[in-house]
């Protein structure tokens, strides 16, 4: 059989895979990008980040207009045309995925549609619509991503039990919706459905929603969610689910009581699992960890010398921008640079109401690791811009190394926190000090001032809050 | 307060717990050693920073611990620890944190070569990534430089490009210094040619190959072996009479009964009792190799220079056989007919200058042997025997030995036993079969 030779084969065209393919092509490599889906862009573009953000935008539009009634502008009840909304959302995805295809073409990255299978460490077989094709390569990057986890006990084959993939299709707006999992996916999609009109109950097994974020930052999110949602249940364990006519019967243990309830739909958002199956990895030297993620070193190298892996399939934070960075590192290593995934700041954003974002060290992490830090906070009630947005439920927080006054972490909760956190990433990556931040003029009136004022508050001279000066200005 | 593993010095960022010297609930005083850590280079103890009570011990003997790891919880006197908070409220007492952390780093007793100017080691520094921009971190990675060793001069100790450059310049300088040192070992002065003709007429002669070999071997011996020489004198009045008595019989059989034959006889007796003098040190494996055979090298003075042929299996040979061997080897040596095999495999060497003159001298160990016996010229000396002064024929003995293998006490015992061995030699040992 004839084997087609490529310098680099990237398996999976999500944000990690396609950006790695493009970057390698930009560096002069002959690249083949394999994708089993009709559309490029992976989960992020088709079933994750982008569609959820489109729906969240729609939801926020509704809640903002409703909330503004008290300030003198009132609209009638919104008329929701789900088909049109879905169409709009899908048009975005189409546009973006088409854009990715165009960019691939411009770079001479050959896109092969089909399922990839490693025959051995040197050969990939792709099942295409025109039959099997065989490829050899100098290097391969595995970027096959992850899928929503669906525990066996919940997998009844009933379409009323959804994962994020189905939920993003908004087939209807169920009257009652149970969201299992209070992480960022559950909270975001819960927000969408609750604002569109569902009565949403969140059931989280852990004692807190949005674990990973500092509790003081998660608090405004939880407070707002309690208004939007019917109920937030923490330390809640779903025992049993069963089809009950046109409903789902759910037995749950919560607050020491067993609750037996009926829901129109259930969204299972209990995490994501790696797509390691049916890849032929057993024919290579690639090793998996006990959770099924591919093991890689700091250079994104697997145990097979020619095979790299990036993104969700290697575990860690399952975020598109982490995958993209890992892809860059893999390509740089392949092209002879000594890049490594070391001390890289990966920001996290939860697009709830209000948004929650953080980067670098969290306060909780500092405690756990025994790193002594000083905290400086600026509450948004003191921000003029937050008041004009009518969104004062926010907080900007700096986590600071006391000795050097270096900024180790930043947390922001509030309107547009996802955009604001980018400044924090640059500050930490640059090794900036609180003084650097305090001295840099931020435009007025913007929410970005809250960062500067949090820095000023560290020294006790923030203009818009009064704190007893604790440090003399040098 | 938490007792953490302090900085152990350059190159040692971890160690193994070898001894825990306190137990939970025990009251300790400030400075009292709590735990011993072995670091490949030394064993160091970690002392208590303050007086108080040990609440909890968090490590076990055998644990590998890294710098900054909490070893124990100490409830300092007068400031009881909040029982369960593993997290110290540092914010409240950053001062205390600072003042206690640093003395520990000094208190720890480790003998170490001081390394040139180091940045002040902060406990946090090990955990936190170095403060530097992505550009600088990338460059450092490409150059294989660990930024934790680079002192940042920017705000908050941020490492700037200039800091990285200064660090590289310093490394370069150090490397050059090291190269220079290597090229010119300080112990051996660079050879220089001196023009002696400026002070008077001279003649030049090239050094023979043998001379050069001797020079090299002697230099190697004295520069690599710490050597000590032990002196003694042995009364050989009786033995010299015996030798004279038997000498004609030997001569009749074409052999010469020299005193060296008698020395060989006595020496083997002493070597049997002190096998370390018949051993060698394997410098690679640090093993001592004891030889169960006795091949004794005899330093022979020839016109060309010193050669050391070897008499084999001395312990199995009669005085006559030894005399024959010695004569054969001496003849070969003078005629420069010694083969390499004649000079290999010695276990101990004798340098007998008795036939020439001179008293005690300090022979140099014939590496890889462990010791050498130097014999001077015997002389009649007034010696007190049974309270009366008598003229006795005294033989000067000198044993030089490798002090890495042999201590002074062993040498004194050896030379004493060697002297005794001489007195044990009787007619029976010399008589011809």
Q: What's the pLDDT at B40?
A: 52
Whether residue B33 is predicted with pLDDT greater than 90 in this model: the reply is no
Residue of A nearest to B87 (CA): A367
What CATH number should be reported for the domain whose range is A354-459?
3.30.390.30
**B-chain residues near A433 (CB < 8 A):** 155-156, 158
Alpha carbon distance B331, B351 (integer Å)? 17
Whether residue B91 is predicted with pLDDT greater than 60 in this model: the reply is no
A298-345 pLDDT, tens digit each: 999 999 999 999 999 999 999 999 999 999 999 999 999 989 999 999
Contact B124 A401 (CB under 8 A): yes
- Burial category of B280 from C-beta neighbours within 10 Å (exposed 0-12, middle 13-18, buried 19 and up): middle
Rounded mean pLDDT, A241-250:
95
Q: Taking the alpha carbons of A127, A129, A130, A131 in that order, is the dihedral positive or negative?
A: positive
Alpha carbon distance A401, A451 (integer Å)? 17
Name the least confident of B42-46, B192-196, B327-331, B380-384: B42-46
Whether residue B79 is predicted with pLDDT greater than 60 in this model: the reply is no
> What are the distances in angstroms from CA B140 to CA A111, A235, A326?
36, 46, 19
Alpha carbon distance B220, B18 (integer Å)? 40
A469 falls in which pLDDT band (50, 70, 90)? low
Alpha carbon distance B348, A93 (integer Å)? 91
B14 falls in which pLDDT band (50, 70, 90)? confident
Strands B64-66 and B2-4: unpaired
B172: CB partners within 8 A, 6+ apart: none
Whether residue A131 is predicted with pLDDT greater than 60 in this model: the reply is yes
Whether residue B177 is predicted with pLDDT greater than 50 in this model: the reply is yes
Select from B346, B392, B111, B417 the least CA-distant residue to B235.
B392
A408 falls in which pLDDT band (50, 70, 90)? very high
Asked if A142 and A11 count as a contact pair (C-beta separation under 8 A), the reply is: yes
Contact B158 A433 (CB under 8 A): yes
Q: Which of A340, A402, A406 faces B94 most closely, judged by CB atoms? A: A402
Alpha carbon distance B47, B186 (integer Å)? 39
Q: Which of A402, A404, A429 faces B157 most closely, judged by CB atoms? A: A404
Residue with tokens 């660079």: B190
Read off φ and ψ for residue B318, nearest 5 degrees: -80, 165
**B-chain residues near A338 (CB < 8 A):** 141-142, 144
Residue A406, Cβ neighbours under 10 Å: how many?
24
Asked if B30 and B49 count as a contact pair (C-beta separation under 8 A), the reply is: yes
Q: What's the pLDDT at B123?
A: 56
Rounded mean pLDDT, A178-191:
96
Q: Is B332 left (phi over 0), alpha (psi -120 to 50) or beta?
A: alpha
Residue with tokens 């006889």: B265
Residue of A nearest to B97 (CA): A372
- Residues of chain B with a CB closer than 8 angstroms to some CB in chain A: 2, 68, 70, 87-88, 90-91, 94, 97-98, 122, 124, 127-134, 137-138, 141-142, 144, 152, 154-159
Rounded mean pLDDT, A391-416:
96
More confident position, A28 or B175: A28
A132-184 pLDDT, tens digit each: 999 999 999 999 999 999 999 999 999 999 999 999 999 999 999 999 999 99
B124 falls in which pLDDT band (50, 70, 90)? low
- A188: preceding bond cis by omega (within 30 degrees): no
Whether residue A78 is predicted with pLDDT greater than 90 in this model: the reply is yes
What CATH number should be reported for the domain whose range is A152-270?
3.50.50.60
Strand, helix or coil for residue A123 = strand
Whether residue B97 is predicted with pLDDT greater than 60 in this model: the reply is no
The fold adopted by the segment(s) B2-107 is: OB fold (Dihydrolipoamide Acetyltransferase, E2P) (2.40.50)
The CATH class that applies to domain B129-176 reads: few secondary structures
| Whether A139 is catalytic | no
Residue of B nearest to A435 (CA): B155
**A-chain residues near B134 (CB < 8 A):** 429-430
B218-430 matches B129-176 in CATH topology: no
Contact A401 B128 (CB under 8 A): yes
**B-chain residues near A339 (CB < 8 A):** 138, 141
Asked if A266 and A161 count as a contact pair (C-beta separation under 8 A), the reply is: yes
Q: What's the pLDDT at A472?
A: 52
Domain boundaries, chain A: 3-148+273-334, 152-270, 354-459
B354-366 pLDDT, tens digit each: 888 999 999 999 9
Q: Which of A367, A372, A431 faces B131 most closely, judged by CB atoms? A: A431
Strand, helix or coil for residue A404 = coil
Strand, helix or coil for residue A41 = coil
B25 token code pair: 């609930």
Q: What's the pLDDT at A277?
A: 93
Strand, helix or coil for residue B127 = coil
Q: What value does the mean pLDDT of chain B take?
A: 83
Whether residue A473 is predicted with pLDDT greater than 50 in this model: the reply is no
Largest CA distance in chain A: 78
ipTM above 0.85, yes or no: no
Residue of B nearest to A363 (CA): B87
Domain boundaries, chain B: 2-107, 129-176, 218-430
Out of 1.10.10.10, 1.10.3720.10, 3.30.1540.10, 3.30.559.10, which CATH number does the structure's domain B218-430 have?
Answer: 3.30.559.10
A354-459 matches A3-148+273-334 in CATH topology: no
Rounded mean pLDDT, A204-230:
94
B106 falls in which pLDDT band (50, 70, 90)? very low
More confident position, A28 or B97: A28
Q: What's the pLDDT at A470?
A: 64
Q: What's the pLDDT at B34?
A: 85
Whether residue B76 is predicted with pLDDT greater than 90 in this model: the reply is no
Q: What value does the mean pLDDT of chain A take?
A: 95
Known catalytic residues of B are: 403
B71 falls in which pLDDT band (50, 70, 90)? confident
B368-377 pLDDT, tens digit each: 999 999 999 9
DSSP 3-state percent helix, strand, coil across chain B (nearest 5): 35, 25, 40
Q: Which of B91, B128, B152 faces A374 most closely, judged by CB atoms? A: B91
Catalytic residue among A57, A254, A276, A444: A444
The CATH class that applies to domain A3-148+273-334 reads: alpha beta
DSSP string, B190-258: PP----GGGTS-----PPPHHHHHHHHHHHHHHHHS-EEEEEEEEE-HHHHHHHHHHHHHHHHTT----
Q: What's the pLDDT at B400?
A: 96
pTM for this structure?
A: 0.62
Rounded mean pLDDT, B397-410:
95
């Amino acid at each position: 059989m004839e084997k087609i030779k490529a310098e680099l084969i990237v398996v999976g065209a999500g944000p990690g895979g396609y950006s790695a393919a493009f970057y390698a092509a930009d560096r002069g490599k002959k690249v083949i990008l394999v994708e089993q889906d009709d559309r490029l862009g992976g989960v992020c573009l088709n079933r994750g980040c982008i569609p959820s953000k489109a729906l969240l935008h729609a939801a926020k539009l509704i809640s903002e207009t409703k909330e503004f009634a008290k300030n003198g502008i009132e609209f009638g009840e919104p008329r929701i045309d789900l088909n049109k909304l879905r169409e709009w959302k899908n048009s975005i995805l189409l546009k973006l995925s088409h854009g990715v295809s165009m960019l691939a073409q411009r770079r001479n990255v050959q896109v092969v549609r089909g399922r990839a299978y490693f025959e051995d460490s040197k050969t990939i077989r792709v099942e295409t619509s025109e039959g099997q094709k065989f490829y050899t390569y100098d290097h391969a990057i595995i970027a096959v991503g992850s899928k929503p986890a669906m525990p066996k006990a919940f997998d009844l084959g009933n379409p009323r039990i959804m994962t994020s993939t189905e939920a993003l299709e908004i087939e209807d707006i169920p009257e009652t919706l149970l969201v299992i999992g209070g992480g960022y996916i559950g909270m975001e999609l819960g927000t969408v459905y609750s604002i569109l009109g569902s009565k949403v109950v969140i059931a989280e097994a852990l004692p807190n929603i949005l674990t990973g974020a500092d509790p003081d930052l998660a608090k405004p999110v939880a407070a707002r969610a309690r208004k939007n949602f019917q109920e937030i249940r923490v330390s809640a364990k779903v025992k049993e689910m069963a089809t009950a006519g046109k409903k789902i019967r759910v037995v749950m243990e919560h607050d020491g009581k067993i609750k037996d309830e009926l829901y129109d739909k259930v969204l299972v958002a209990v995490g994501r699992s790696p797509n390691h199956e049916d890849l032929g990895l057993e024919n290579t030297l690639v090793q998996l960890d006990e959770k099924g993620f591919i093991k890689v070193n700091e250079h994104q190298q697997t145990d097979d010398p020619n095979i790299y892996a990036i993104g969700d399939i290697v575990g860690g934070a399952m975020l598109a921008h982490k995958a993209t960075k890992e892809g860059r590192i893999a390509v740089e290593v392949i092209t002879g640079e000594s890049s490594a995934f070391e001390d890289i700041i990966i920001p996290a954003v939860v697009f709830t109401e209000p948004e929650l974002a953080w980067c670098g060290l969290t306060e909780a992490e500092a405690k756990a690791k025994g790193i002594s830090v000083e905290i400086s906070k600026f509450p948004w009630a003191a921000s003029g811009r937050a008041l004009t947005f009518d969104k004062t439920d926010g907080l900007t927080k700096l986590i600071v190394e006391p000795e050097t006054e270096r900024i180790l972490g930043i947390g922001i909760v509030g309107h547009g926190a996802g955009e604001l956190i980018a400044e924090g990433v640059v500050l930490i990556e640059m090794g900036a000090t609180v003084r650097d931040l305090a001295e840099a003029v931020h435009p007025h009136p913007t929410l970005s001032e809250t960062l500067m004022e949090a820095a000023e508050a560290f020294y006790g001279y923030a203009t818009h809050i009064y704190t007893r000066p604790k440090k003399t200005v040098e | 307060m938490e007792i953490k593993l302090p900085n152990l010095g350059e190159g040692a960022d971890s160690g193994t717990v070898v001894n825990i010297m306190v137990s939970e609930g025990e009251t300790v005083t400030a400075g009292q050693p709590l735990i011993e850590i072995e670091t490949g280079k030394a064993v160091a103890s970690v002392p208590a920073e303050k007086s108080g009570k040990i609440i909890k011990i968090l490590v076990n003997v055998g644990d590998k611990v890294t710098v900054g790891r909490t070893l124990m919880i100490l409830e300092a006197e007068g400031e009881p620890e909040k029982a369960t908070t593993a997290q110290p409220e540092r914010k409240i007492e950053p001062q205390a944190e600072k003042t206690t952390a640093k003395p520990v780093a000094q208190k720890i007793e480790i003998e170490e070569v001081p390394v040139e100017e180091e940045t002040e080691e902060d406990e946090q520094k090990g955990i936190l990534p170095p403060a530097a921009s992505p550009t600088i971190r990338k460059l450092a990675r490409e150059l294989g430089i660990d930024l934790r060793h680079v002192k940042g001069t920017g705000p908050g100790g941020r490492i700037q490009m200039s800091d990285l450059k200064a660090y590289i310049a310093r490394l370069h300088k150090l490397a050059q210094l090291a190269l220079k040192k290597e090229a010119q070992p300080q112990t051996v002065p660079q050879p220089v040619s001196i023009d002696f003709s400026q002070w008077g007429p001279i003649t030049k002669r090239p050094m023979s190959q043998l001379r050069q070999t001797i020079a090299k071997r002697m230099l190697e011996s004295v520069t690599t072996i710490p050597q000590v020489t032990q002196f003694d004198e042995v009364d050989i009045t009786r033995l010299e009479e015996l030798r004279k008595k038997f000498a004609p019989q030997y001569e009749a059989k074409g052999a010469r009964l020299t005193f060296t034959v008698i020395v060989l006889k006595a020496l083997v007796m002493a070597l049997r009792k002190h096998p370390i003098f018949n051993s060698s040190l394997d410098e690679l494996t640090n093993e001592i190799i004891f030889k169960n055979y006795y091949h004794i090298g005899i330093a022979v003075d020839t016109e060309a220079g010193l050669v050391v042929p070897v008499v084999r299996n001395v312990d199995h040979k009669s005085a006559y056989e030894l005399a024959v061997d010695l004569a054969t080897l001496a003849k070969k040596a003078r005629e420069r007919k010694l083969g390499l095999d004649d000079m290999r495999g010695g276990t101990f060497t004798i340098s007998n200058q008795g036939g020439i003159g001179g008293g005690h001298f300090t022979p140099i160990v014939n590496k890889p042997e462990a010791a050498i016996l130097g014999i001077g010229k015997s002389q009649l000396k007034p010696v007190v025997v049974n309270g009366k002064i008598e003229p006795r024929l005294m033989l000067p003995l000198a044993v030089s030995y490798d002090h890495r293998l042999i201590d002074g006490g062993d040498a004194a015992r050896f030379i004493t036993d060697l002297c005794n061995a001489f007195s044990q030699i009787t007619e029976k040992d010399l008589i011809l079969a």
